[in-house]
């Protein structure tokens, strides 16, 4: 962890605040309650678990009904080892206190030596309250089902490289452009990474074309285009990647062993040997933030139909974002997109003129 002055960053403190209070308690009836949870920590990831006075899990009385962008298709149980929420991720939860006895504690069981695990306490009033509520089986239609999958021209490639790359203390975000065969330099080379795409078996070569906030924009998207964003981490800490303007659908999370040379700043051999990491149930909902772990490639799909103009995407660890892991992208109206041969610039409907 790099230090600025005497502070280590990313900074994490020992206590967790809930609505501005350390270790609050909430008196609840023996009934179902809905909680809308957002992780607003600057850097800390939470693994939320509900336990009773003896420390036994009470996660079974919790159902997740929503994510970052709205209701899930169906209520889902919490993952067996707790709900991981990275900075900016949201969870809409229903907790049925009618099915428990005595006080419960919400704890953070994430591996974190500096952490006091208690988050808050629930004190359940005696007697079953009049609660006739019932969770519906079907909550929403879920994320848009996109029939027309994007082609090569609708892909955005972003590399996440570990601390130390190029002598830089912090992890970096690299915007990548794919190189044609005749453009590939002798390898390995600084700023060049290779990936063997498991979907095609083809080795693809990319060059870093932008990294810092003020570097020239390289991601242009045609309004209403469906674009696949590929976040590939070549090592380092996990990054909750957040894209403005859209709710996306997570397509895949793949794990690999990166052969990335930090001193050089490039791959020594193509990223390969990917294994699919099964998505959690809640990851099938509408998301605008998702964790990309070290040695993971996460693909997400979104339609950029909401608006045109300049927007941001970034790591949502504030200390990373402030050290450069934030970049603009531009969504063009169709009248301009037709002149821009860039990722996402091909409208799926033929251009019909103004
Ligand atoms: Cu980050």
The residue behind tokens 């570990």 is 162
What six digits make up the tokens of 234?
């070549």
Q: Which of these CATH numbers, 3.40.50.300, 3.20.20.300, 2.60.40.420, 1.10.760.10, describes 14-128?
A: 2.60.40.420
Distance CA 196, CA 111 (A): 32
Contact 192, 206 (CB under 8 A): yes
Q: What is the pLDDT of residue 348?
A: 41
Going from the Cα of 303 to the center of ligand 1, the distance in angstroms, rounded, reads 24
Q: What is the pLDDT of residue 148?
A: 66
- Residue from 162, 329, 180, 317 nearest 232 by CA: 162
Q: What is the pLDDT of residue 346?
A: 42
Going from the Cα of 164 to the center of ligand 1, the distance in angstroms, rounded, reads 14
Going from the Cα of 125 to the center of ligand 1, the distance in angstroms, rounded, reads 42
Q: What is the pLDDT of residue 352?
A: 39
Q: What is the pLDDT of residue 113?
A: 65
Backbone angles phi, psi at 98, to 5 degrees: -70, -10
Burial of 216 (0-12, 13-18, 19+ CB in 10 A): exposed
Helical (H) or strand (E) element with 134: none
- Residue from 132, 139, 77 nearest 281 by CA: 77
Q: What is the pLDDT of residue 353?
A: 40
Going from the Cα of 213 to the center of ligand 1, the distance in angstroms, rounded, reads 14
Distance CA 203, CA 21 (A): 51
Q: For residue 337, how many C-alpha atoms fall within 13 Å in the half-sphere facing its CB?
A: 29
Q: How far is CA 207 from the centre of its chain?
A: 23
Compute the 3-state secondary structure of the chain and give helix, strand, coil in percent, each to the nearest 5. Answer: 10, 45, 50
The yes or no reply on domain 152-337 and CATH 2.60.40.420 is yes
Largest interatomic CA distance in the chain: 75
What six digits make up the tokens of 287?
């998301």
Going from the Cα of 238 to the center of ligand 1, the distance in angstroms, rounded, reads 6
- Given strand 226-233, what is the order of strands in its sheet? 192-196, 203-210, 172-178, 155-161, 226-233, 296-303, 249-255, 275-276
Give the pLDDT of the chain (354 residues) as one tens digit per residue. 555 555 567 888 888 999 999 999 999 999 999 999 999 999 999 999 999 999 999 999 999 999 999 999 999 999 989 999 999 999 999 999 999 988 999 999 988 767 889 999 999 998 767 888 899 999 998 888 877 676 766 899 999 999 999 999 899 999 999 999 999 999 999 999 999 999 899 999 999 999 999 999 999 999 999 999 999 999 999 999 999 999 999 999 999 999 999 999 999 999 999 999 999 999 999 999 999 999 999 999 999 999 999 999 999 999 999 999 999 999 999 888 888 765 544 444 433 343
Spans of all domains in the chain: 14-128, 152-337
Backbone angles phi, psi at 212, to 5 degrees: -85, 165
Going from the Cα of 170 to the center of ligand 1, the distance in angstroms, rounded, reads 9
Going from the Cα of 8 to the center of ligand 1, the distance in angstroms, rounded, reads 15
Backbone angles phi, psi at 201, to 5 degrees: 80, 0
Distance CA 273, CA 254 (A): 9
Distance CA 77, CA 60 (A): 7
Helices (H) and strands (E) in the chain, counts: 2, 28
Q: What is the pLDDT of residue 350?
A: 39
Contact 104, 309 (CB under 8 A): no
Q: How far is CA 103 from the centre of its chain?
A: 33
CA angle 231, 223, 289 (to 5 degrees): 30
Q: How far is CA 336 from the centre of its chain?
A: 30
What six digits make up the tokens of 191?
């700023």
Going from the Cα of 87 to the center of ligand 1, the distance in angstroms, rounded, reads 10
C-alpha distances in Å from residue 177, one per residue of 100, 132, 171, 191, 263: 54, 56, 19, 11, 21
Is-same-fold flag (14-128; 152-337)?
A: yes
Ligand 1 (single-atom ion) residues, CB below 5 Å: 239, 315, 317, 320
Helices (H), the chain: 318-322, 334-337
């Amino acid at each position: 962890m790099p230090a600025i002055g005497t502070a280590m960053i990313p900074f994490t403190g020992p206590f967790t605040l809930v609505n501005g209070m350390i270790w609050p308690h909430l008196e609840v009836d023996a009934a179902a309650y809905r909680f809308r949870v957002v992780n607003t920590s600057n850097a800390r990831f939470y693994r939320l678990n509900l336990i009773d006075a003896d420390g036994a899990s009470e996660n079974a009385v919790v159902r997740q009904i929503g994510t970052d962008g709205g209701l899930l298709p169906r209520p889902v149980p919490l993952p067996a080892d707790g709900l991981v929420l990275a900075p900016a991720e949201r969870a809409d939860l229903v907790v049925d206190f009618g099915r428990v006895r005595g006080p419960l504690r919400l704890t953070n069981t994430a591996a974190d030596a500096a952490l006091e695990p208690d988050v808050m306490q629930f004190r359940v009033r005696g007697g079953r309250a009049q609660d006739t509520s019932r969770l519906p089986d079907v909550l929403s239609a879920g994320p848009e089902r996109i029939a027309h999958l994007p082609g090569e021209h609708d892909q955005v490639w972003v590399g996440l490289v570990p601390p130390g790359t190029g002598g830089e203390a912090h992890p970096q975000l690299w915007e990548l452009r794919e190189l044609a065969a005749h453009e590939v330099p002798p390898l390995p080379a600084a700023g060049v990474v290779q990936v063997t795409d498991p979907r095609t078996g083809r080795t693809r070569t990319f060059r870093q074309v932008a990294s810092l906030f003020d570097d020239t924009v390289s991601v242009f998207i045609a309004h209403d285009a469906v674009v696949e964003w590929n976040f590939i981490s070549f090592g380092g800490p996990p990054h909750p990647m957040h894209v403005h303007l859209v709710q996306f659908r997570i397509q895949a999370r793949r794990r690999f062993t990166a052969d990335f040379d930090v001193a050089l700043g490039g791959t020594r051999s193509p990223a390969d040997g990917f294994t699919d990491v099964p998505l959690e149930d809640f990851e099938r909902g509408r998301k605008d933030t998702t964790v990309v772990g070290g040695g993971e490639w996460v693909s997400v799909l979104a339609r950029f139909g909401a608006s045109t103009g300049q927007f941001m995407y970034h790591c949502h660890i504030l200390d990373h974002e402030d050290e450069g892991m934030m970049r603009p992208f531009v969504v063009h109206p169709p009248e301009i997109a037709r002149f821009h041969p860039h990722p996402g610039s091909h409208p799926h409907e033929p251009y019909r003129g103004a």
